[in-house]
Structure 1
Amino acid sequence: MGRFSWKYGVVVPVLLLSVGFGESVAQQVSYEHATAKQLAGIAKDNSRHFGDDPDDPGPLATDLSYKISPEAVGKAMRKVADWQLARSQPYFDRIWTWSILYSGFMATSESLNDPKYRDAMMAMGTKFDWKLRSHLPNADDQSVAQTYLELYLLKKDPAMMQPTRDELDAVLAAPRMSKIPGKELPWWWCDALFMAPPVWARMYAATGDQKYISYLDEEWWKTSDLLYDTKEHLYARDASYLTKTEANGQRMFWGRGNGWVMGGIARTLEYLPKDDPARPKYVKQLQEMSARIASLQGKDGMWRSGLLDQSNYALPEMSGSALMTYAMAWGVNEGILDRKVYRPVIEKAWAGMLHHVYADGRLGCIQQTGAEPAPFKASSSYTYGVGAFLLAGSEIRRMDSHSSAGKRVH
């Protein structure tokens, strides 16, 4: 059955897929009306092996259970992880789009007690000699060190840690302000709060040196002061979005951008010292954002690219939804969020996400790289969205277990 939907100011052809979730999901099958810039961005992502967006991705999976149980969640994680690992391992790189996938593989290996994914990460780190992409790396280029440092904390091989330490020390010694308007801060865009702070927290765990936490705390709250709306409890993507609005006149708050921040809080708190004076501020921000995000959850369990104008977006968006779900599940597991309030939100979100897993393990509905809401296909699958899904699954499995044994919490 077909229909047409008015989205993004154009007529977009869609199909309706029955997914057994009480309603149908609109699937875009054409970029006929996408802008040239959007098409060029998608083509670039695909050419760099971040993922792809075929017209015919095949049938959706029918062998997954929506139950929130370690067994059911683990089966979905393995299905998606195995498809992605086989597809992407030849193209591993150190750019942020890959580093988030690596974090998901690390979480999957620990959650499923399967060394396969961690072994692939060891091979990746060895391939790159445990080095970052650039000297004086920005947040994006620091992000791969989350995996390097987690492996160091397991293996205690100094070679895994020292190149990153050298670069972070160089960042500490360099000026922290640029002369670029709107980009004066090291972490001037909200995505950076997922990419870099968890690295600095892990470096503290690896070295015990307080200077890494001091930098982390100072720079996080500069970014928060600039981009966090204390009334909406949401982040603008960067300073250029402080006044941008959606078609309905509401402020533009990007789903994935806010997912990055929530996930970044969780991954930072995981290794932040318990006695860090700033720790309660991170906890409060996660609580505030979680409450706001829960209030915006769609009927299908997921969130749209534009959080405050959801009716303007035909499809739910996977990467933002998974990051938000991961952060809320982590918060429940750590006693930061009320289990009775957030478990139903998390259960509904997980069921919604499973409706976008294909029979071969492809994870769909992932928006291509960008800085704001944009059109994408239901088949669109990109590495960072898979990483976010695996992070969410790992915390959901832990949420339903009787203890957090084996989970590294510092």
Structure 2
Amino acid sequence: MNAAPSRSVVLIEDDEVLGESLVQRLTLEGVATHWARSLREGEALLRRHRPNLIVSDIRLPDGSGEALLLRLMPELGGTPIIVITAHGDVAQAVRLLRAGADDYVEKPFPPQLLLDKLASLSDWAPPAPPPTGEAGWRSPAMQRLRRHLLKLGQVDSTLLLGGESGAGKEVAARHLHDVSRRAEKPFVAVNCAAIPEDLLESQVFGHERGAFTGALTRQLGLAEQAGQGTLFLDEIAELGPASQAKLLRLLQERCFTRLGGRETLPLGARLVAASNADLRARVEEGRFREDLFFRLAVVELTVPPLRERPEDLGELAAHFLAHFARSFDRPEPQLNADSFDALLAHPWPGNVRELRNRIERAMVLADGPRLEPADLFPERRAEPEAPLSLAAARDAAERAHIRRALARSGNRLGDAAQLLAISRTTLWERMKRLGLKS
């Protein structure tokens, strides 16, 4: 596969023998592999970590892998997905291909087959996140939030941002940073849910050489890297008791010590925290320290969900269309009236992040110059009226995979053939047989 060490795969597979075999092979190929053994573990992993590739079984002990992938596709953007299926589940695999999955493998299969399929997708990498810009501030609710942030930019009070997942809490924190006197200093974001409890102190406060096994050099922590700028702590509710105590001390004393060190260092950065959980309820339940809550919530603001600010939808969609057109080096597609109506009618449980990822995925997979409702909401496509034969299912999978290779290569036949590990002539012949046009 010759994958770079920075490549990562999330594997969702409950079969211990198959899972262990795949993890070993992928690791030998230099691929960082995160293995979830159930639907619940897989969902938690994908919400914390966006990998380069996803491999998921359809049948899991606690639910349907198909339902999980359909639910999360709006949040995964263009991340390639390969489905593992048994013979009797091929129709489910084909439904997922129609909804945007990239390929499938049928059990039993040799690990090399999966490695070959992963290799054909290994050049994909998530595009850079869109700049925050001026999009999404048109609605009255967001204009009110912006006025509050402008006032807060003149002082250094600690801010606690609330709001649903994906609503734009980091965008609001960055806006506060940009309108403050700290604008030219660093903005450092920390996802508290993504740092294991035993590594938090080292990550945030840094460590000295020899502080623990493997600490070969001094490492500056995120608090020190933020300097006189802004330290943004996202998903603050996910901190455990020990980490809460360390953060409280940091806020109280405005200083810290590197792990294994003796020197006391001042905290010069402004602290902004965010949570999609009800922290007051967590305090009442005894899951979050009350003294820490009051230290964080000097000022509380809430970022409204996207469904409550439809005035922002068109501007945000245009912003993401332009950004991903530049990222993918292709013409910017148009949204027709039906597509925009579909956007307005959608409840947006994943908020702005869902909109961004739906547009990213649609631009990867769509064939024409316009994005249709089915491109933005592929899970709504009607299922086939009659079950497909195995040959028809395989043709559908091959057709979908070739389309994705063409999309990722900018419709260049030679580059697509290289991604698929076949010759240009073979690709042209297969496209002709499958009724595909370049």
TM-score normalised per structure 2:
0.24
Larger Rg: 2
TM-score (norm 1): 0.25
Question: More strand by proportion, 1 or 2?
Answer: 2
